[in-house]
């Protein structure tokens, strides 16, 4: 092994001035040369920490080594042993909090760009046209119902079908993918990629039923009459509002609604697509997570002249990925830190006109370990605003808990499930992803899906609960 | 899947589809709604189920062509398949033996009130129905309503049929003449439901209304359908669509319903220009 190479290969991106005028993907991905250059930096640790850092335990050094050797086919095969959605994970996983955080080169400030390489290898395969379908094990004759086709559901379904179980996946919306389709915008995760990965899961043998709302057409208990096990991955549901005056004015959106209109319903192409969205020159997004970044950047692409983020803590405490914050800054999103809305003011016709905010300061650390924001009395100010997007999180979707009496839930409505297995209080029923943890990340949901799949397989083989 | 088995024009611009959706029909109860899409570019259109035939696996949908999406929906023919029918959504109507119930349907609101009339009758209630329309031509489901009602009153705004006036006028005379009305259920334009609620308030008669808020997903995920009921924010799709009419903020409902009126007009104009 030669000298350490600490030059992390940058990934080309669309110019910020250009990209706010379109909805195409911002990051453009590595060329083959760039990928090999980056892969060659990996020192192939004997005891790699990166694998432990990955919720689905991808054999990271192995797939990177194969890239460095130019064996892209071998690399994607290695990848898919553990992760069926690499094109998605390569784009939306917070690698800086996971695999890249524990990379030995991180200490030198230049961790291997694992996410970019993951994305590269997945995109390389797609560009080849023919996608390899790994052989499935012989049929076990067992049937599993997977409720929800988001990251958790897709992982459970593909793992179980490859183990020989018959899997039916139910999706309430008219397109599969859950948050990958309705939530994460095109410019961060092109929908063609989600489609491709879902098609791959279908090619593995998973049956997909769209427009099927479990809890309505069938309860979980009814599913158990037909299926040997049920996995619930229904994700986050009811959007939270702050409970301040004026939140039901015309022009105040939940981030779920704003992004669903823009992404799933393609309102940015109205009237070619039928669903409208309120555009507006001055748009404020409330919150500091990735969903807030997605909303603020969507506003720019819908033509907002000013898109601002209102966050009650400071930049340091923002839960959004650094990369997304930087992208938003580059595109001209204005950040108002240590600020919190206290009311929205409207006109006679119920239209939003002004936002009233209060300045905050950081006090003592709270339960989350972050310094608690405290309002500064008398610092209220009002500013004119056309659209507000409230991006402060969701509570779990209530449809299944309400219709499944045997299922224990927390007081917030999350389904209680064992962390290691996804087992719920009801025999044969497993759960994972945001419906259990509350809003988290794609990869954590996939990790929960992986663990649940293992536990479901064991349950189906042994019958032991 | 989702095959239109029967199509009728009930009145100018008001169409009826019988749709083959066994999974939905098996679970549908009075008050439930479905979401329908016309195409892969279409909106998600919420429509209350107007009738269900569980033995055939069929639901009846009745809609008025008011905008681009409903006009386009009206172009589907018998034998066509609807690209998407999701449901049954929302909470079903409360159907039990209340005693005497006045059921009011205004305009195309007669369609969603019909299964409630049927349900209440089957539960042993004395059902007094008031149905109304702008004129005789636009009145729908009169025979069906009569079949399941103990008394049926018909009003038209222009007096071309039944009693001249609004459904509320008829309600007014029932409130004065009937001593024991136990419940009122009203479905129609917001302004009508608001008027009904105001009329029954002094009598303290429980009054249920079914709201037609703007929706997107219809499963509790987006919050487009927020309404204020008794000062609290509720989601029409999962908390409703039926609410206590005495607590609903109808002013806000009506203003929220007009949120996209300029886009709706543009879509309609573009569409009419094309055809």
Task: Report pLDDT digits (tens) over A15-32.
Answer: 999 999 888 999 999 999
Residues of chain B with Cβ-Cβ distance to A349 below 8 Å are 255, 258
Smallest Cβ–Cβ distance between B27 and the set A217, A238, A273 belongs to A217
Instruction: Tell me the two tokens of residue B32.
Output: 């439930």
Task: Report pLDDT digits (tens) over A438-460.
Answer: 888 888 898 899 999 999 999 99
Instruction: Answer yes or no: is pLDDT of A424 > 80.
Output: yes
- Nearest CA to A252 out of B222, B212, B211 is that of B222
Contact A172 B88 (CB under 8 A): no
Q: What angle do CA A33, A34, A40 make, to 5 degrees?
A: 90
CA distances for A243 relative to A257, A293, A412, B149, angstroms:
17, 22, 17, 43
CA pair distance B217, B213, nearest whole angstrom: 12
Residues in chain A, total: 465
**Residue to test with chain A: of B40, B49, B68, B217, most A Cβ within 10 A:** B217
CA pair distance A82, A63, nearest whole angstrom: 11
Instruction: Tell me the two tokens of residue B198.
Output: 């105001």
Chain B: give the shortest CA distance to residue A394, in Å. 9
Instruction: Answer yes or no: is pLDDT of A1 > 60.
Output: no
Contact B86 A273 (CB under 8 A): no
Task: Report pLDDT digits (tens) over B166-207.
Answer: 999 999 999 998 779 999 999 999 999 999 999 999 999 999
Smallest Cβ–Cβ distance between A239 and the set B222, B252, B264 belongs to B222
How much is the pLDDT for A132?
A: 79
Residue A2's pLDDT band, with cuts at 50, 70 and 90, is low
Comparing alpha-carbon positions, the chain B residue that sits nearest to A273 is B41
- Nearest CA to B59 out of B5, B108, B12 is that of B5
Which runs of consecutive H residues, i.e. helices, occur in A280-349?
290-301, 322-331
Smallest Cβ–Cβ distance between A248 and the set B27, B89, B226 belongs to B226
Chain A: give the shortest CA distance to residue B223, in Å. 7
Contact B86 A172 (CB under 8 A): yes
Task: Report pLDDT digits (tens) over A403-422.
Answer: 898 899 998 889 999 999 99
Smallest Cβ–Cβ distance between A211 and the set B85, B223, B270 belongs to B85
CATH of domain B100-257: 3.40.50.80
Q: Domain residues of chain B, as ranges?
A: 3-89, 100-257
Element (H, E) at A462: helix A442-462
b/e map B33-47, b = 16+ CB within 10 Å: bbbbbbeeebbbbbb
Task: Report pLDDT digits (tens) over A142-157.
Answer: 999 999 999 999 999 9
Instruction: Answer yes or no: is pLDDT of A129 > 90.
Output: no
**Residue to test with chain B: of A171, A213, A261, most B Cβ within 10 A:** A213
Comparing alpha-carbon positions, the chain B residue that sits nearest to A260 is B222
Instruction: Answer yes or no: is pLDDT of A114 > 60.
Output: yes
Question: Mean pLDDT, to the nearest integer, of A374-400?
Answer: 94
Contact A270 B263 (CB under 8 A): yes
Task: Report pLDDT digits (tens) over A38-62.
Answer: 999 999 999 999 999 998 899 999 9
Q: What is the DSSP letter of A250?
A: B
Instruction: Answer yes or no: is pLDDT of A396 > 90.
Output: no
Contact B233 A274 (CB under 8 A): no
How much is the pLDDT for A74?
A: 95
Q: Which stretches of chain B score pLDDT less than 50?
A: none
Identify residues of A whose CB sits under 8 angstroms from chain B CBs.
Answer: 172-174, 182, 210-213, 216-218, 237-239, 241, 247-248, 250-251, 253-254, 256-257, 260-261, 265-266, 270-276, 278, 349-350, 397-399
Instruction: Tell me the two tokens of residue A152.
Output: 């958790």
Identify residues of B whose CB sits under 8 angstroms from chain A CBs.
Answer: 23-24, 26-27, 37-38, 41-44, 68-69, 83-89, 216-217, 219-224, 226-228, 233, 235, 238, 251-252, 255-256, 258-260, 263-264, 266-267, 270
Contact A260 B255 (CB under 8 A): no
How much is the pLDDT for A131?
A: 79
Query: What is the value of ipTM here, to two decimals?
Result: 0.94
Contact A260 B221 (CB under 8 A): yes
How much is the pLDDT for B209?
A: 98
- What percent of chain A is predicted at pLDDT more than 90? 79
Residues of chain A with Cβ-Cβ distance to B238 below 8 Å are 238, 398-399
**Residue to test with chain A: of B223, B254, B259, most A Cβ within 10 A:** B223
pTM over 0.90? The answer is yes
CA pair distance A212, A93, nearest whole angstrom: 28
Instruction: Answer yes or no: is pLDDT of A255 > 70.
Output: yes
Question: Mean pLDDT, to the nearest integer, of A159-175?
Answer: 95
Chain B: give the shortest CA distance to residue A270, in Å. 9
- CA A346 centroid distance within chain: 33
More confident residue, A73 or A4: A73
Q: What angle do CA B27, B30, B33 make, to 5 degrees?
A: 70
CB contact at 8 A, A285 and A297: no
Beta bridge partners of A282: A306
Instruction: Answer yes or no: is pLDDT of A397 > 90.
Output: no
CATH topology of domain B3-89: Elongation Factor Tu (Ef-tu); domain 3 (2.40.30)
């Amino acid at each position: 092994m030669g000298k350490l190479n600490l030059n992390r290969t940058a990934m080309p991106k669309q110019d910020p001035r250009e990209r706010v005028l379109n909805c195409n993907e911002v990051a453009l991905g590595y060329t083959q040369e760039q990928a090999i250059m980056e892969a060659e930096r990996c020192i192939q640790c004997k005891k790699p920490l990166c694998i432990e850092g990955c919720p689905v335990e991808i054999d990271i050094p192995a797939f990177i080594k194969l890239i460095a050797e130019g064996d892209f086919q071998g690399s994607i095969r290695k990848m898919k042993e553990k992760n069926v959605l690499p094109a998605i994970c390569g784009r939306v996983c917070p690698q800086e909090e996971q695999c890249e955080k524990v990379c030995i080169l991180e200490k030198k400030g230049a961790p291997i760009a694992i996410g970019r390489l993951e994305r590269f290898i997945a995109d390389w395969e797609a560009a080849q046209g023919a996608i390899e379908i790994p052989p499935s094990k012989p049929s076990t004759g067992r049937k599993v119902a997977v409720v929800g086709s988001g990251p958790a559901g897709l992982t459970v379904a593909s793992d179980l079908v490859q183990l020989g179980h018959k899997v039916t996946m139910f999706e309430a919306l008219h397109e599969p993918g859950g948050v990958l389709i309705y939530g994460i915008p095109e410019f961060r995760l092109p929908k063609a990629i989600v489609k491709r990965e879902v098609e791959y899961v279908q090619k593995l043998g998973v049956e997909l039923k769209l427009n099927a709302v479990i809890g309505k057409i069938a309860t979980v208990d009814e599913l158990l009459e037909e299926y040997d096990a049920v996995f619930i991955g229904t994700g986050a549901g009811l959007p939270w509002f702050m409970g301040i005056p004026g939140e039901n004015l015309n022009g105040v959106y939940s981030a779920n609604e704003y992004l669903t209109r823009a992404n799933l319903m393609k309102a940015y192409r109205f009237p070619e697509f039928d669903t409208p969205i309120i555009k507006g020159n001055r748009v404020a997004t409330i919150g500091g997570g990735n969903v807030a970044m997605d909303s603020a950047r969507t506003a720019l692409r819908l033509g907002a002249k000013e898109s601002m983020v209102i966050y009650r803590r400071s930049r340091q405490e923002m839960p959004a990925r650094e990369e997304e914050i930087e992208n938003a800054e580059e595109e001209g999103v204005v950040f108002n830190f240590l600020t919190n809305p206290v009311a929205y003011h409207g006109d006679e016709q119920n239209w939003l006109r002004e936002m009233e905010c209060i300045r905050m300061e950081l006090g003592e650390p709270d339960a989350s370990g972050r310094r608690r924001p405290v309002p500064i009395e008398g610092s209220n100010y009002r500013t004119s605003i056309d659209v507000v997007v409230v991006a402060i999180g969701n509570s779990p979707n209530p449809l299944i808990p309400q219709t499944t009496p045997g299922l224990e839930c927390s007081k917030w409505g999350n389904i209680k499930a064992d962390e290691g297995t996804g087992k719920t209080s009801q025999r044969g029923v497993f759960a994972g992803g945001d419906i259990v943890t509350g809003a988290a990340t794609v990869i954590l949901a996939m990790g929960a899906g992986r663990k649940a799949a293992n536990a479901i397989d064991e349950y189906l083989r042994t019958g032991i609960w | 899947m989702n095959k239109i088995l029967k199509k009728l024009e009930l009145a100018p611009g008001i169409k009826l589809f019988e749709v083959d959706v066994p999974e939905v029909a098996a679970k549908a109860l009075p008050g439930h709604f479905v979401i329908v899409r016309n195409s892969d570019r279409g909106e998600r259109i919420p429509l209350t189920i107007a009738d269900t035939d569980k033995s055939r696996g069929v639901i009846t949908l009745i809609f008025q062509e008011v905008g681009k999406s409903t006009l386009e929906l009206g172009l589907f023919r018998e034998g066509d398949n609807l690209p998407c029918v999701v449901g049954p959504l929302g909470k079903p109507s409360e159907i039990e033996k209340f005693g005497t119930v006045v059921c009011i349907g205004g305009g195309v609101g007669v369609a969603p009130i019909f299964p409630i009339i049927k349900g209440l009758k089957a539960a042993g209630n004395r059902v007094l129905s008031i149905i109304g329309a702008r004129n005789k031509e636009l009145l729908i489901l009169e025979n069906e309503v009569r079949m399941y009602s103990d008394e049926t009153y018909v009003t038209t705004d222009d007096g071309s049929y039944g009693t001249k006036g609004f459904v509320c006028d008829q309600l007014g005379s029932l409130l004065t003449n009937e001593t024991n009305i136990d419940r009122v259920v009203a479905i129609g334009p917001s302004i009508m439901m608001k008027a009904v609620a105001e009329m029954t308030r002094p009598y303290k008669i429980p009054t249920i209304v079914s709201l037609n808020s703007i929706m997107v997903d219809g499963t509790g995920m987006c919050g487009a359908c927020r309404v204020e009921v008794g000062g609290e924010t509720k989601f029409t799709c999962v908390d409703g669509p039926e609410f206590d009419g005495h607590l609903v903020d109808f002013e806000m409902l009506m203003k929220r319903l007009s949120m996209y009126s300029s886009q709706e007009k543009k879509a309609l104009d573009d569409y009419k220009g094309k055809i």
